[in-house]
């Protein structure tokens, strides 16, 4: 997700699927895994009737294609890319060189294959790219097929990352003088708005809903605005949704309509406050258009910072307190009061930000590049107490670059997480080991800088990590998934007896619930689909498993997520074919909601090669397709259903 260590990086990530081996459909893409989902498995030579690799009859010239991908998922944003790798062998297992492999997709209107696809090399290998053209940017599955002669291999990739959010007040007055404004935002995997999509809004019985956005669809920023006018007192949920079937995304707010106006008027929503400063919080409370009686108690709470008075009393219809914090982060301020039998609630979210840089950390997500490849360089600024420093400029400069590459942009302002990123693209020549040096600096910290070292090789060694369809249920509470790694040298030959270091850590988690979804369009729900309302970064910012200042975003006293998945071994050794096998084990209730980074590292010809795969822990199809009963995994995310990361519920 973000840079956390000095000059640490992940390198080339490749997740593989042996398309020659069919699947038993024991896992589902809606649970977060990307694998072959066809009935009966993948064709290895024109035969689609069997769920396993066929042994060719004498005289059969179909051959075998093994199809791999560099990730189990592709982003929904236009121009998102994923590398496809095909290995072509004859029926005797001999690699076939100088052979054209044809790649196709089942949704050519939304995805395309790069036109620059070379013939197979001496190892029978060729590569190309799957590129998203999808302007709708829907979460969906796409089927890719590689063929050469009579041999074919296929795999299914999940396009993911599209989400819908909803913001607006949750406590409404039945005698409000004007409607309340709400905003839904539809975004793709890059966080960019999705334009031109209709948003469905449920109509609660206690209020009327009216659209505001012209044309009734999302704007270029992905925004859809509407108003809610209270009609009767009570509580009800309002829900917005976009798209249908497995592509559907939704978000909800619980509304309470009361006879009073009870709202925080300052500070404004999402305002920024410097840490150490004191900010006044004002709340207005009226009933029937008149200020509430003096002396009423209002209880204020916050999940970050300190309040000067947690229970001020009203005066002339207003109650005030102040807030300050020495820790950076989002603070959710809540005000509660009792009026007769009704409990009134108002909330306001503000951002405490650090302003004085003390430490700069920089890293690259890949340190070993081929010519023409790119890597993201991420910098993060901290103050003396480890708080992220926002709104500060970070500069990126090529201090040394024999490859004649480029880095863009060269100066970036840090966000609320203290992060700033740029992309380095390698040039056309090799650099030697760590020959490229990217200098990262902040004006307030000069002359101190950080240097990220990269290696650009013409033909680097490769490590490929990946998995298949089967998901084993070790117990009623535990899943186990088999993975494999393949290590090859720069010529594509397998490297035997190589140790591969393995690690797996959660980088984000989702909040939401399982809902019945119709995936085949027949009008009848056929699967329990995890519907995320928000995806949150892992709170353990520096990955040391210790709860530190500024990390507990939701204020519940623990780090979310924990180490949800584990490995049966941290080190494996490749066999004569360059392959090693290992297992990922995790609790069943972590599936669909926990996003992990699996990293495999080894040395090939003296140079480090790495594979990094980011994916969502998968659920078994059996646990999600029993549509008549609630999922055994539970109906809600283990991390809650609230639509903001600062709320632990």
CA angle at 465 for the pair 463 and 470, rounded to the nearest 5°? 160
Contact 32, 617 (CB under 8 A): yes
* Range among 179-188, 274-283, 613-622 with highest mean pLDDT value: 274-283
**Domains along the chain?**
163-353 (2.60.40.10)
pLDDT bin (cut points 50, 70, 90) of residue 188 is very high
pLDDT at 459: 52
Torsion of CA 14, 17, 18, 22, to 10 degrees: 180
Asked if the model's pLDDT at residue 40 lies above 70, the reply is no
- At 490, list the tokens: 């720069």
Give the phi and the psi of residue 589 in degrees, each rounded to 5: -75, 0
CA distance 72 to 75: 10
- Give tens-digit pLDDT for 247-264: 999 999 988 887 778 888
CB-based contact 575:556 (threshold 8 Å): no
Q: Which residues share a beta bridge with 128?
A: 84
Give a three-class secondary structure readout of 381-395. EECCCCCEECCCEEE
- Residue linked to tokens 């409000």: 176
pLDDT tens digits for 323-365? 999 989 889 898 888 877 666 777 788 999 999 999 999 999 8
For the segment 106-138, what is each residue's pLDDT rounded down to a tens digit? 999 999 998 778 899 988 999 999 999 877 899
**This prediction's pTM:** 0.44
């Amino acid at each position: 997700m973000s840079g956390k260590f000095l000059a640490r990086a992940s390198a080339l990530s490749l997740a593989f699927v042996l398309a020659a081996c069919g699947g038993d459909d024991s896992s589902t893409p809606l649970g977060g895994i990307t694998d072959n989902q066809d009935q009966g498995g993948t064709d290895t030579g024109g035969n689609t009737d069997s769920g396993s690799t066929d042994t060719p009859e004498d005289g059969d010239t179909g051959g075998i294609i093994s199809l791999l991908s560099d990730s189990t998922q592709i982003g929904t944003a236009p121009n998102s890319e994923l590398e496809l790798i095909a290995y072509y062998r004859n029926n005797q297992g001999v690699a076939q060189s100088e052979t054209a492999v044809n790649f196709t997709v089942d949704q050519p209107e939304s995805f395309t294959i790069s036109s620059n696809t070379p013939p197979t090399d001496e190892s029978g290998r060729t590569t190309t790219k799957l590129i998203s053209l999808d302007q709708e940017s829907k979460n969906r599955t796409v089927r890719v097929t590689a063929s050469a002669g009579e041999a074919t291999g296929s795999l299914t990739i999940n396009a993911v990352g599209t989400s819908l959010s909803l913001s607006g007040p949750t406590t409404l007055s039945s005698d409000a003088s004007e409607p309340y404004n709400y905003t839904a935002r539809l975004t793709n995997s890059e966080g960019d708005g999705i334009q031109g999509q209709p948003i469905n809004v449920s109509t609660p019985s206690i209020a009327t809903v009216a659209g505001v956005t012209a044309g009734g669809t999302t704007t270029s920023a992905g925004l859809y605005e509407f108003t809610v006018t209270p009609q009767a007192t009570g509580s009800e949920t309002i829900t917005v949704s976009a798209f249908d079937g497995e592509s559907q995304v939704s978000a909800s707010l619980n509304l309470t309509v009361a006879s009073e106006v009870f709202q925080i008027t300052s500070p404004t929503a999402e305002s920024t406050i410097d840490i150490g400063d004191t900010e006044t919080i004002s709340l207005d409370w009226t009933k029937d258009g008149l200020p509430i009686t003096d002396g009423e108690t209002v209880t204020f709470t916050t999940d970050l910072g300190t309040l000067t008075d947690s229970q001020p009393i009203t005066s002339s219809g207003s109650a005030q307190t102040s807030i300050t914090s020495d820790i950076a982060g989002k603070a959710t301020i809540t005000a509660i009061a009792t009026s007769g039998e009704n409990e009134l609630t108002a909330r306001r979210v503000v951002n405490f930000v650090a302003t004085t840089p003390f430490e700069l950390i920089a890293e690259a997500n890949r340190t070993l590049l081929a010519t023409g490849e790119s890597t993201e360089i991420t910098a993060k600024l901290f103050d003396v107490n480890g708080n992220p420093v926002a709104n500060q400029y970070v500069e990126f400069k090529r201090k040394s670059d024999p490859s004649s590459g480029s880095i863009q942009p060269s100066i970036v302002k840090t966000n609320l997480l203290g992060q700033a990123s740029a992309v380095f693209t390698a040039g056309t020549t090799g650099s030697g080991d760590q020959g490229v040096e990217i200098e990262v600096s902040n004006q307030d910290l000069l002359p101190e800088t950080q240097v990220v070292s990269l290696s650009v090789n013409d033909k680097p060694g490769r490590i490929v990590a990946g998995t298949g369809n089967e998901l084993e249920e070790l117990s009623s509470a535990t899943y186990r998934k088999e993975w494999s790694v393949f290590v090859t040298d720069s010529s594509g030959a397998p490297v035997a007896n190589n140790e591969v270091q393995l690690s797996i850590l959660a980088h984000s988690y989702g909040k939401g619930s399982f809902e019945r979804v119709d995936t085949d369009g027949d009008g009848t729900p056929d699967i329990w689909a995890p519907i995320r309302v928000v995806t949150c970064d892992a709170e353990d910012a520096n990955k040391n498993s210790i709860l530190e200042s500024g990390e507990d975003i939701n204020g519940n006293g623990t780090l979310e997520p924990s180490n949800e998945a584990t490995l049966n071994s941290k080190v494996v050794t490749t066999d004569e074919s360059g392959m090693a096998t290992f297992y990922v084990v995790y609790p069943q209730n972590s599936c669909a909601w926990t996003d992990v980074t699996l990293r495999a590292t080894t040395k090939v010809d003296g140079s480090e090669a790495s594979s990094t795969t980011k994916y969502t822990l998968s659920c078994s199809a059996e646990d999600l397709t029993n549509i008549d009963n609630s999922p055994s995994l539970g109906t809600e995310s283990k991390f809650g259903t609230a639509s903001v990361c600062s709320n632990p519920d």
